[in-house]
């Protein structure tokens, strides 16, 4: 780039910054002014209105003044919010107003337009000239999708075609151009190189300056009901998902709010890792949750739920347990669409027979026996759905309770209880009576007059018997309070014995076949039944049972839906079962779904394939409503690390490295665990000295993490942190972490604590090792105290270095 061009760019930058500063200066007093005004209105709110309720007119007057004051206040607050937003986005632009430029000559026009692209738009005083375009505007797509030459972009009014004459990228820091690149073929390889060679951070960063074409397609896809992204480790799936949220919020800013978008994340640390991307882009964060959190919310008060981490810990460590094989078969089966169908059939069967109810008990007696509830239930029209009949039943029960409640007022225990009431309760009843008395007095006066006229006393109106009325009211009160929990539990459907109904499914094979019309039953069904029932008898649920249990509960009680949510994002989507997807679809009937995942990292038993003919995800909304985008280029790791990790998988075609070089992965074999730990600590020190400050020692399981952590600490390392499933904040530093908790996260350097055949020997452990190794950005070390895992042994030797060589 010649100096003159650079100079021109710097001058333009100065001009834009001056205008930005001028606008900020102009806005600032308005922002503070409006805020003061709003505060003042709030402070003097009641001074401005005189409350007068002495007559209807005065009351009305007061009402309208309050309303008017509130309207003024809310208008001031709204304007304040808008101006503050503007002011914030201008301030965000100031240090680095844009990162890209394209010169575009639209067909039919005589001159080209220079389009500068930044994190938000900035329009000149004339209200027409865009000094900076928001990266989410249609025209900004040119920058991500095309190289110089013929180019086009889509607008709501149709496609605009033309010629891109220039594409330039900027690195601007505090108002100074640090770098300028003119891109030819793919955008910003150089800029991307620089971004990727930086160290890992405790927080994910936005990638708007270097979004790649395939990623842009994910971000801007707004046609499909279901968008599936199958992308290799480090290919930017999570990044694309977060920029997509920002895009959707921008594009639909009048109709979509951040809390109408929900992201299902793999674990709580991940939440903290990604939480700063959207605020960095000037948007509010969407809702973030884990499926476990959701399940806990609905089932946690009744049952103790196993979480997915305990499940995987069992799968990885309990191989020698006698019930191991059956448990694995159970996990797989309960994740399947076949089981979903079986539950649907079971619900139909229950519509005819077999419902289990819990009788309503009250003060040690059976108030409404289960048998009576059951007879009532099966007396309803069978053409009604199960849930509709349950709703009728609920109404009937509430009515029955009212009748029984009235009867109960006569019970001896109630009279007795009255004596033990405290003063407040008496006072309350007295207050009610007092009100009644006024009414009575008027009635009495009328009666006296009436009597005089007619000259006879009416017989039906006796004197108001306070004592009797008082007692009535008190017993009413006492009984009502004692019936309250019954009503509440009826409202919560506790008259249905869901636990029993779920357990019934697992009684024996013949019964299961009959109730579910299922014929493809796992071989070890008897053992699966025993395990499930035993767990339930302890008021506990396996992780694989939680979603099906909730599903059955909803088939009976009526489906819970959330119609507010418009977009559901599922990250690490390969780790959810087909069953769980069906559930999510039902739960969010008005939402579009974006699922991002990598089948190469499917380390849980209940995984789902994201692509291919047999992918249940393609069927979820039907193929015509579904788009699939594949990402194969890995941006996270160096070429050497990608080449190594890619060979760990059997299907190699799915990852391509990005051209960034570093040392080959280093294999260190050393006798004795203690020596290994010492060596590992030495290596950590060296890595730190090389400037890497996010270093992870990755183990297969949580149990192994704890042992490694203790041992490293004993060897004298005080600065190592242990990451457990309870950890919610992700911080830089040296950490020991089980692989399944490192999902979605990255580190400068990864040290695989034990790469022996004992740790990673079975086929289902291949993906664990792959997932662990793909967390590394710049350095990857593997350690073993004996043999190497067969997955490493099978690698061509030129892919790694040996520490002992």
Ligand X SMILES: Nc1ncnc2c1ncn2[C@@H]1O[C@H](COP(=O)(O)OP(=O)(O)OP(=O)(O)O)[C@@H](O)[C@H]1O
Q: Binding site: what residues are annotated? A: 231-238
Stretch that binds ligand X, among 202-210, 365-373, 749-757, 779-787 (CB under 6 A): 202-210
Q: Are 190 and 196 in contact (CB under 8 A)?
A: no
Binding ligand X by CB under 6 A: which of 239, 260, 516, 574?
A: 239
Q: For ligand X, which residue of 42, 205, 257, 586 counts as binding (CB under 6 A)?
A: 205
Looking at beta carbons only, is 238 or 260 nearer to ligand X? 238
Instruction: Assess contact for 272 and 723: CB atoms under 8 A.
Output: no
In terms of CB distance, is 373 or 750 closer to ligand X? 750
∠ CA 134-136-142, nearest 5°, is 95
The nearer residue to ligand X, 275 or 489, going by C-beta atoms, is 275
- Show binding-site residues for ATP: 231-238
Determine, following the binding rule CB under 6 A, whether residue 734 of this chain makes contact with ligand X.
no
Q: Is 253 exposed, middle or buried (0-12, 13-18, 19+ CB in 10 A)?
A: exposed
Nearer to ligand X, 498 or 739 (CB): 739
> Minimum Å distance from CB 231 to ligand X?
5
Cβ nearer to ligand X, comparing 235 with 789: 235
Q: In the complex, what is the shortest distance from the CB of residue 245 to ligand X, in angstroms, rounded to a whole number?
A: 13
Q: What residue has token string 């910003």?
A: 188
Select the residue interacting with ligand X from 195, 433, 473, 521 (CB under 6 A).
Answer: 195
Contacts (Cβ under 8 Å, ≥6 apart) of 352:
382
User: What is the Cα–Cα distance from 147 to 78, expressed in whole angstroms?
Assistant: 42
Q: How far is CA 27 from the centre of its chain?
A: 36
How many CB atoms are located within 10 Å of the residue 485 CB? 11
Q: How many CA atoms lie within 13 A of 746 on its CB side?
A: 26
Give residue for tokens 């300028």: 180
State which residue, 41 or 695, has the beta carbon closest to ligand X. 695
Verify binding: residue 231, ligand X, rule CB under 6 A.
yes
Candidates 91-99, 233-241, 315-323, 795-803; binding stretch for ligand X (CB under 6 A): 233-241
The answer to the question of residue 774 lying near ligand X (CB under 6 A) is yes
Q: What is the Cα 758 distance to its own chain's centre?
A: 35
Q: What is the largest CA-CA distance in the chain?
A: 125
- CB 591 to ligand X: min, Å: 21
Of 93, 142, 233, 305, the residue at the interface with ligand X (CB under 6 A) is 233
- Which among 211-219, 467-475, 518-526, 675-683 is the span making contact with ligand X, rule CB under 6 A? 211-219
| Among the residue ranges 203-211, 292-300, 394-402, 611-619, the one whose residues contact ligand X (CB under 6 A) | 203-211
- CB contact at 8 A, 211 and 611: no
Shortest Å, Cβ 636 to ligand X: 4
* Cα distances (angstroms) measured from residue 178 to each of 14, 169, 173, 742: 14, 11, 7, 35
Which C-beta is closer to ligand X: that of 234 or that of 665?
234
Structure tokens at 738: 């089980």
Q: How far apart are CA 551 and CA 344, in angstroms?
A: 9
Interface positions, 314-353, toward ligand X (CB under 6 A): none
With respect to ligand X, which residue has the nearer C-beta, 119 or 350?
119
H helix or E strand, kind and range, residue 437: helix 423-454
Q: Which is nearer to ligand X, 193 or 287 (CB)?
A: 193
Options 89, 238, 394, 531; binder of ligand X; rule CB under 6 A: 238
Give whichever of 120 and 212 is closer to ligand X, judged by the CB atom.
212
For residue 668, CA distances in Å to 33, 755, 762, 787 come to 65, 10, 22, 11
How far is residue 157 from each of residues 138, 160, 248, 660, measured CA to CA in Å?
Answer: 11, 9, 19, 41
* Whole-number Å distance between alpha carbons of 789 and 761: 6
Q: Which long-range contacts (CB under 8 A, 24 or more apart) does 711-716 make?
A: 711/673, 711/674, 711/677, 712/677, 712/680, 712/681, 712/736, 715/674, 715/677, 715/678, 715/681, 716/681
**Interface region with ligand X, contact rule CB under 6 A, candidates 230-238, 505-513, 616-624, 704-712:** 230-238
Q: Name the residue whose CB lies closest to ligand X.
A: 236
Angle, CA of 206, 144 and 163, to the nearest 5°: 155
Q: Identify which range of 229-237, 479-487, 698-706, 708-716 contacts ligand X by CB under 6 A.
A: 229-237
CB neighbours of residue 115 within 10 Å: 20
Residue positions counted in the chain: 805
Q: Smallest distance from the beta carbon of 208 to ligand X, in angstroms?
A: 9
How far is Cα 496 from Cα 480, in angstroms, rounded to an integer?
23
Interface region with ligand X, contact rule CB under 6 A, candidates 234-242, 551-559, 721-729, 760-768: 234-242
Location of structure tokens 């169908």 = 341
- Please identify which residue in 575, 746, 748, 765 interacts with ligand X, judged by CB under 6 A: 746
Q: Which is nearer to ligand X, 211 or 584 (CB)?
A: 211
* Contact pick of 101, 146, 220, 237 for ligand X (by CB under 6 A): 237
Instruction: Note whether 208 binds ligand X by CB under 6 A.
Output: no
Alpha-carbon distance of 709 to 659, in angstroms, equals 35
Minimum distance between the CB of residue 598 and ligand X, rounded to whole angstroms?
Answer: 5
Residue 503 three-state SS: helix
- The region of 237-245, 417-425, 504-512, 697-705 touching ligand X under the rule CB under 6 A is 237-245
Which residues are CB-neighbours of 566 under 8 A, at least 6 positions away?
Answer: 256, 260, 261, 590, 591, 592
Query: Among residues 642 and 687, whose Cβ is nearest to ligand X?
Result: 642
Provide the 10 A C-beta neighbour count for residue 198: 11
Cα torsion at 679, 683, 686, 692 (round to 10°)? -160
Nearest distance, CB of residue 784 and ligand X, angstroms: 24
Nearer to ligand X by Cβ, of 236 and 665: the residue is 236
Report how far residue 663's alpha carbon sits from residue 661's, in angstroms, rounded to the nearest whole number: 7
Check binding of 744 to ligand X (CB under 6 A).
yes
- The rounded distance, in Å, linking the Cα atoms of 495 and 90 is 59
Q: How far is the CB of 646 from ligand X (least distance, A)?
A: 13
x-or-dash pattern for ligand X, window 691-730, by CB under 6 A?
----------------------------------------
The CB-of-63 to ligand X minimum distance in angstroms stands at 55
Q: Which stretch binds ligand X (CB under 6 A): 172-180, 232-240, 607-615, 755-763?
A: 232-240
Q: Which is nearer to ligand X, 117 or 498 (CB)?
A: 117
Q: Which of 89, 96, 169, 210 contacts ligand X by CB under 6 A?
A: 210
How big is the site for ligand X, counted in residues (CB under 6 A)? 23
- Pattern 150-189, ligand X, x by CB under 6 A: ----------------------------------------
Least Å distance, CB 80 to ligand X, is: 35
Based on its alpha-carbon atoms, the radius of gyration of the chain, rounded to whole angstroms, reads 34
Residue 30, token pair as written in the block: 């308005």
Q: Name which of residues 579 to 638 contact ligand X (CB under 6 A).
A: 598, 635-636
In the complex, the residues that contact ligand X under the rule CB under 6 A are 192, 195-196, 205, 207, 210-212, 215, 231, 233-239, 598, 635-636, 744, 746, 774
């Amino acid at each position: 780039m010649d100096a003159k061009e650079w100079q021109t760019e710097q001058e333009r930058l100065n001009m834009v910054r001056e205008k930005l500063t001028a606008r900020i200066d102009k806005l600032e007093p308005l922002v503070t002014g409006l805020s003061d005004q709003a505060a003042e209105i709030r402070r003097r709110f009641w001074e401005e209105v005189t409350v007068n309720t002495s007559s209807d007119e005065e009351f009305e007057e007061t009402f309208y003044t309050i309303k008017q004051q509130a309207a003024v206040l809310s208008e001031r607050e709204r304007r304040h919010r808008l101006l503050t937003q503007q002011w914030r986005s201008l301030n965000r632009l100031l240090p680095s107003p844009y990162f890209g430029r394209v010169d575009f000559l639209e067909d039919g026009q005589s001159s080209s337009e220079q389009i500068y692209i930044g994190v938000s738009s900035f329009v000149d005083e004339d209200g027409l000239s865009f000094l900076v375009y928001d990266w989410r505007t249609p025209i900004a797509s040119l920058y991500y999708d095309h190289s110089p030459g013929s180019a086009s972009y889509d607008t709501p009014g149709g496609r605009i075609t033309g010629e891109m004459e220039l594409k330039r990228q900027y690195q601007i820091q505090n108002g100074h151009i640090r770098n300028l690149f003119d891109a030819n073929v793919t955008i910003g390889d150089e800029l991307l190189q620089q971004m990727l060679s930086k160290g890992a951070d405790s927080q994910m960063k936005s990638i708007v300056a270097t979004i790649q074409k395939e990623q842009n397609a994910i971000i801007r896809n707004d046609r499909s009901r279901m968008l599936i992204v199958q992308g290799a480790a480090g290919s930017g799936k999570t990044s694309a998902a977060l920029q997509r949220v920002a895009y959707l919020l921008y594009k639909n800013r009048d109709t979509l709010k951040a809390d109408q978008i929900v992201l299902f994340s793999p674990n709580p640390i991940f939440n903290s890792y990604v939480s700063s991307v959207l605020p960095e882009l000037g948007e509010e964060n969407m809702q973030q949750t884990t499926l476990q959190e959701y399940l806990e919310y609905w089932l946690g008060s009744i049952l103790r739920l196993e979480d997915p981490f305990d499940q995987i810990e069992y799968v990885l460590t309990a191989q020698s347990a006698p019930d191991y094989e059956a448990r694995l078969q159970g996990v797989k089966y309960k994740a399947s669409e076949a089981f979903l169908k079986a539950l649907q059939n079971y619900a139909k069967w229950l519509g005819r027979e077999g419902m289990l109810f819990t009788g309503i008990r009250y003060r040690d007696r059976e108030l409404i026996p289960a048998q009576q509830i059951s007879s009532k239930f099966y007396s309803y029209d069978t053409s009604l759905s199960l849930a509709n009949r349950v709703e009728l039943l609920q109404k009937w029960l509430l009515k029955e309770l009212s009748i029984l409640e009235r009867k109960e007022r006569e019970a001896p225990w109630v009279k007795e209880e009255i004596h033990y009431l405290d003063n407040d309760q008496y006072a309350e009843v007295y207050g009610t009576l007092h009100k009644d008395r006024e009414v009575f007095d008027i009635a009495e006066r009328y009666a006296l007059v009436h009597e005089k006229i007619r000259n006879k006393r009416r017989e039906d109106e006796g004197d108001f018997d306070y004592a009797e009325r008082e007692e009535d009211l008190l017993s009413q009160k006492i009984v009502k309070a004692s019936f309250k929990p019954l009503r509440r539990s009826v409202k919560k459907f506790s008259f249905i014995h869901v636990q029993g109904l779920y357990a019934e499914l697992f009684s024996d094979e013949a019964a299961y076949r009959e109730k579910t019309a299922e014929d493809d039953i796992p071989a070890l069904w008897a053992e699966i039944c025993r395990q499930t029932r035993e767990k339930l008898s302890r008021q506990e649920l396996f992780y694989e049972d939680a979603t099906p249990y909730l599903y059955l509960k909803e088939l009976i009680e009526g489906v819970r839906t959330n119609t507010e949510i418009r977009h559901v994002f599922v990250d690490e989507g390969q780790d959810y079962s087909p069953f769980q997807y069906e559930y999510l679809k039902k739960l969010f009937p008005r939402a579009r779904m974006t699922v991002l995942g990598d089948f190469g990292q499917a380390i849980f038993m209940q995984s789902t394939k994201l692509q291919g003919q047999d992918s249940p995800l393609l069927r979820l909304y039907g193929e015509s409503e579904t788009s699939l985008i594949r990402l194969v280029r890995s941006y996270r790791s160096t070429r050497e690390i990608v080449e190594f990790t890619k060979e760990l998988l059997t299907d190699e075609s799915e990852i391509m490295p990005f051209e960034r070089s570093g040392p080959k992965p280093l294999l260190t074999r050393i006798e004795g665990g203690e020596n290994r730990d010492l060596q590992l600590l030495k290596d950590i020190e060296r890595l730190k000295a090389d400037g890497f400050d996010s270093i992870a020692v990755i183990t297969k399981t949580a149990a192994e993490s704890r042992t490694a952590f203790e041992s490293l600490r004993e060897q004298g390392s005080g600065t190592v942190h242990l990451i457990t499933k309870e950890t919610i904040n992700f911080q830089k530093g040296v950490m020991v972490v089980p692989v399944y908790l490192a999902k979605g996260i990255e580190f400068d350097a990864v040290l695989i604590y034990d790469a022996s055949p004992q740790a990673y020997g079975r086929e289902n452990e291949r993906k664990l090792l792959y997932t662990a190794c793909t967390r590394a950005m710049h350095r990857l070390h593997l350690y073993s105290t004996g043999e190497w895992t067969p997955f490493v042994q099978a690698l061509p030797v030129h892919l790694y270095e040996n520490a002992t060589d």
